[in-house]
Amino acid sequence: MGNDRNPIRGRGASDNPANRFEDKYTDYHLDEETGEKPSQNTRFIADNTKEILSKNESPDIPFTYGLNPYRGCEHGCIYCYARPTHEFLGYSAGLDFESRIMVKYEAPRKLRKKFAQNSWMPEVVVMSGVTDPYQPVERELEITRGCLEVFAESRNPVSIITKNYLVTRDIDLLSELAKYNAVYVNFSITTLDRKLARVMEPRTSQPNRRLKAIQKLSEVGISVGVNVAPIIPGLTDHECVEILKEARKAGASRAGYTILRLPHGVKDLFKEWLQQHYPDRKEKVLNRLKSMRNGDLYNSEFGRRFRGEGEFANQIREMFRVQTNKLGFDEHNSSLSTKYFKRPQIGQLDLF
């Protein structure tokens, strides 16, 4: 992958690298006049996955079940660790990940059927754990909202991870779940810099909108947290303290963080993005990352992949501990409750 490509407005990636399983490469022709690749039109493709809940087997991820209404993500965050999952579907981790979105249109119905089964023992489900359940198309399709209606009816606890202000649309359902201590909303904030956010995570809500969403949810009693994630050493690490302060002021009660992860093809996509937008910081960022990954850009080892190791990783860990204590964040992740769970009613059509 070279560094001569121009960025595409509204996209995080500017290339569509070959699928690592199929060595398949889809190029998008350059515009002869501008020399730039035209922005792809986003396509939404029906995902008829039989099992609606995915089971996590990773020992360092603190949940068992995840629900992903969408696979691929319009938000286009260049650093997204989930990009390589699109290769399992026959697509690229680059532009395809942002523009070929798999949609689980039947997710609410399948979730209702799952919760209605006697074999389902209520426990926290994370929505989504991979791609954002509130990406832009959710405004039109309301699949995540449909799933929340099932969660609210059954009072099965759900933990939501998002970067989008659109979650405030569903305050009515979230408030209903909050009555039974059955919901937690976690906002990922990477930077407070609008310019940086616009090119790094181009279709997410701007940082100030995420802070406003934290405020709106916390004001009505919905438990809200902030995830400073991912921290990009040499680019965003200096913002950590301010992000924590602003999130706490807005009403976040808990906080976490992760260090940038660059699995598989994300490494090359991210390096090209740095060359395009922050060439003066490129080597500093990459060298810092290597110092936290034992000389590599990525370490997939459980227990180390999220936080890194070494002197700089330790500095971030200590800074985070001191600041969260100082700002009064709750150190203890109080569990959501399954006490009030009730099996939802299903009609004849839901059986099929």
Q: DSSP of 38-76, one letter per residue? A: PPPPPEEEE---S-SSEEP--TTSS-SEE--SEES-TT-
Alpha-carbon span 88 to 82, nearest angstrom: 11
- The residue behind tokens 């990477």 is 190
Q: What was the pLDDT predicted at 163?
A: 98
138-166 exposure pattern, b = at least 16 Cβ within 10 A, e = fewer: beebbbbbbbbbbbbbbbbbbbbbbbbbb
Q: What is the pLDDT of residues 150-178, one digit of tens each?
A: 999 999 999 999 999 999 999 999 999 99
Structural domains in the chain, sorted by start: 43-330 (3.80.30.30)
3-state SS assignment for residue 169: helix
Q: What was the pLDDT predicted at 41?
A: 86
Q: What was the pLDDT predicted at 1?
A: 45
- The residue behind tokens 């203890």 is 332
- pLDDT exceeds cutoff 50 at 86: yes
Q: Which band of pLDDT confidence, cut at 50, 70 and 90, is reported for residue 297?
A: confident
Residues 137, 44 contacting (CB under 8 angstroms): yes
Which tokens hold the place of 334?
Answer: 């109080």
Average pLDDT, the chain: 90
Instruction: Report CA torsion sign: 80, 81, 82, 83.
Output: positive
Who's near 249: CB < 8 A, 6+ residues apart? none
Q: Which band of pLDDT confidence, cut at 50, 70 and 90, is reported for residue 2?
A: very low
Q: Which band of pLDDT confidence, cut at 50, 70 and 90, is reported for residue 5?
A: confident
Q: Which band of pLDDT confidence, cut at 50, 70 and 90, is reported for residue 298?
A: confident
Beta-carbon count within 10 A of 137 CB: 17
Q: Which of 128-142, 296-310, 336-350 has the highest mean pLDDT?
A: 128-142
Residue 206 amino acid letter: Q
**pTM, two decimal places:** 0.92
Residue 255 is classified by DSSP as E
Q: DSSP of 99-146, one letter per residue? A: HEEEE-TTHHHHHHHHHHSTTPPP--EEE-SSS-TT-TTHHHH-HHHH
Mean pLDDT, rounded, for 295-309: 69
